[in-house]
Amino acid sequence: MRHPLARFVVIVLAWLPVCFVVWYFSSPLLTLPVQWLALGIAKLGFSDIILDVEKSGSLFSFVTNLRPAAATSFTGGKSAVVVDSRALLYTYGLPLFAALTLAATGLGNGARLAKVLAIGYVALLPFQTWGVFADALKQLAITMGPAISSQTGFSAFQREVIAFAYQFGTLILPTVIPAIVWVLTQRPFLEQMSADLARTGK
pLDDT 10s digits, 39-97:
999 999 999 999 999 999 999 999 999 988 654 444 444 578 999 999 999 999 999 99
Kindly tell me the sign of the dihedral angle through the C-alpha atoms of 71, 73, 76, 78. negative
In the predicted model, is pLDDT for residue 118 greater than 90?
yes
**Least reliable range by pLDDT among 20-24, 77-81, 161-165:** 77-81
Q: Is 168 exposed, middle or buried (0-12, 13-18, 19+ CB in 10 A)?
A: middle
How many CB atoms neighbour CB 105 within 10 A? Answer: 21
Domain boundaries, the chain: 4-200
* Average predicted confidence (pLDDT) for the chain: 90
pTM of this prediction?
0.89
pLDDT (tens digit per residue) in 138-153: 999 999 988 899 999 9
Residue 202's pLDDT is 52
Nearest CA to 80 out of 64, 59, 58, 96 is that of 64
167 vs 6, higher pLDDT: 167
Q: Which of 21, 195, 18 is nearest to 103 (CA)?
A: 18
